[in-house]
Amino acid sequence: MEDTAAVPLDAETKVAERPGDHHSELRLWLRLLTCTNMIEGEIRRRLRDAFHVTLPRFDLMAQLDKNPGGMTLGELSSRMMVSNGNVTGLVERLLAQGLLDRRPSPNDRRAQLVSLSGEGRRVFRAMARTHENWIAEIFAGLNPGDIDDMMRLLGKAKASTARMVAGKDAS
């Protein structure tokens, strides 16, 4: 019996020849997840402390800022990848604070369009400027080349994931 443990394998060969040996892929996934959780936790804390707002409310306002003509609850739900019920609760709270406006959709009388009110746009843009500075602070330890390399590699990881997901949908 040949000892293949000493033979260096590339990732494709390793997957094909040693399907149970995915330590580096698992470590990569855990590293990405840890970074995401750390960054998200810090942003959540800062939004709460500085603006008394939750990350989901910030995200909803960001969607509306990008779509000044307004969006239906279904569109918001789809863009934010959350349930309609979650979006409804967020919208109701932001409406009560005077940060959103609501009007009937001209295309579907059953649907309502929500958009940022003038005050909502002012509040959101102040938060967004601060949020952008926080992100820059979080990544201050990376130089522009590091950021370019990470963007390129994460783009490849995203494309790999998209291919796998698309292949699963075809099955």
Q: Does any domain span residue 8?
A: no
Q: Does any domain span residue 4?
A: no
DSSP 8-state class, residue 164: H
Percent of the chain surpassing pLDDT 90:
74
How many alpha carbons fall within 13 Å on the CB side of residue 31?
7
Q: Does any domain span residue 11?
A: no
Mean pLDDT for the stretch of residues 69-76: 94
Q: Does any domain span residue 1?
A: no
171: helix, coil or strand? coil
Q: What is the DSSP string of 72-121?
A: EHHHHHHHHTS-HHHHHHHHHHHHHTT-EEEEE-SS-TT-EEEEE-HHHH
The predicted-structure confidence for 137-166, as pLDDT tens digits, reads as follows 999 999 999 999 999 999 999 999 999 999
Highest mean pLDDT pick, 56-60, 105-109, 167-171: 56-60
Structure tokens at 136: 């820059």
The predicted-structure confidence for 95-153, as pLDDT tens digits, reads as follows 999 999 999 988 888 889 999 999 999 999 999 999 999 999 999 999 999 999 999 99
CATH number at residue 26: 1.10.10.10
Kindly indicate the confidence band of residue 19, based on its pLDDT and cuts at 50, 70 and 90: low
Q: Is pLDDT above 90 for 23?
A: no
How many alpha carbons fall within 13 Å on the CB side of residue 153?
8
pLDDT at 171: 55
pLDDT at 169: 67
Q: Does any domain span residue 14?
A: no
Mean pLDDT for the stretch of residues 10-23: 59
Q: What burial class does residue 95 get, using C-beta atoms within 10 Å of its C-beta: 0-12 exposed, 13-18 middle, 19+ buried?
A: middle
Mean pLDDT for the stretch of residues 44-57: 97
Domain count, the chain: 1
Q: What is the DSSP string of 6-66?
A: TS---HHHHHHH-TT--HHHHHHHHHHHHHHHHHHHHHHHHHHHHHS--HHHHHHHHHHHH
pLDDT at 1: 44
Q: How far is CA 35 from the centre of its chain?
A: 13
pLDDT at 74: 92
- Classify each residue of 8-26 as buried b or exposed e, where b means 16 or more C-beta atoms within 10 Å of its C-beta: eeeeeebeeeeeeeeeeee
Domain span holding position 87? 21-166
Q: Does any domain span residue 39?
A: yes
Percent of the chain surpassing pLDDT 70:
86
Q: Does any domain span residue 29?
A: yes
Q: Does any domain span residue 126?
A: yes
